[in-house]
Amino acid sequence: MPIDTSAAVSGQIVCVTGAGGFIASWLVKLLLEKGYTVRGTVRNPDDQKNAHLKQLDGANERLSLYSADLLDFESLKAAIMGCDGVFHTASPVTDDPEKVEQAIIGTKNVMTAAAEAKVQRVVFTSSIGTVYMNPNRSPDTVVDESCWSDLDFCKNTKNWYCYAKTIAEQAAWEVAKERGVDLVVVNPMLVLGPLLQEGVNASVVHIMKYLTGSAKTYVNAVQGYVDVKDVAKAHVLVYETPSASGRYICVESMLHRGELVDVLAKLFPQYPLPSKCSDEVNPRKKPYKYSVEKLKSLGMEFTPITQCIYETVKSLQEKGHLPLPSQLQH
């Protein structure tokens, strides 16, 4: 999809929370390319880990970084006041039950600040983790935007990431309803793709461990994948489409971990990839059915997952997180 720098964008000011993150960095890049003026919230604007944002095209003229903490309402209010829209991408990826409360407070603070600033729309980065965690779903059920994760199941399986994400998204919808905020939610599956930031984020570690040899086997599990650039594009698409509403699942395809390793082996055979599944007793897990028709109906097109995986590994090599094939000892 070509980038549309329409007149409607000029002069629009938007806030991106957690601007230095994996998805947020690509979102800031795309918003700047499209002509938006962007306010990014980060913990410390002078921290080296946010330096990549200042290098983006248009950053000198139209990007300002605000020091803000999700738990500090006034700091968020300062960043959001005067904005036309908010993209709330800052939500900790955590398996720590202690951090659940923080995710809820942070989300409520952003939503309340957005309500007070009377922004046109808030786009909230949620997760497929708020959608698919349900042990009672039949194999024939198509997972779509009407599905919600079962909180008791998340608790009992100690999946605090999905639990926190689900409660945070529910909190966002509650505040939106109470305060009359136009909220749209994007629910991506596991996000891969090239890194703009220097460090390796949690979702990219998912494939890096197979390439470094630290994972000797792969698990018997399936996972949905989507390119980070597509996730950024989806955020802008739902922000700019007046009729967009509710939730949008964002995924390109689903692979068994064995299929993922096969793709890596075809593209990068030099790395010490595992060839065995850790579970050789049970049948191979099958992917569940899902629908991305809602997002596609807005004109969304996805990057093929093989291309996305290739670009992810190339990026890890370029940033020095992975040895080049020529540096590997055979």
Q: Which residues contact 203 (CB under 8 A, 6 or more apart)?
A: 22, 93, 190, 191, 192
List residues bridging with 218 in a β-sheet: 277
Phi, psi of 60 (to 5 degrees): -60, -40
Told to judge if 319 belongs to the known catalytic residues of this protein, a careful annotator would answer no
Q: Which helix (H) or strand (E) holds 31?
A: helix 22-33
Give the CA distances from residue 125 to residues 20, 21, 36, 138, 240, in Å, rounded to whole numbers and listed in that order: 14, 12, 19, 27, 16
Count the residues in the chain. 330
Q: What tokens appear for 117 in the block?
A: 């600033």
Q: Which residues contact 182 (CB under 8 A, 6 or more apart)?
A: 120, 121, 122, 176
Question: Which of the residues 29, 165, 233, 294 is marked catalytic?
Answer: 165
Selection from 222, 220, 223 nearest residue 283 by Cα: 220
| DSSP per-residue letters across 213-255 | T--SSB-S-EEEEEEHHHHHHHHHHHHH-TT--EEEEE-SEEE
Q: What radius of gyration do the chain's Cα atoms show?
A: 20
Residue numbers annotated as active site:
165
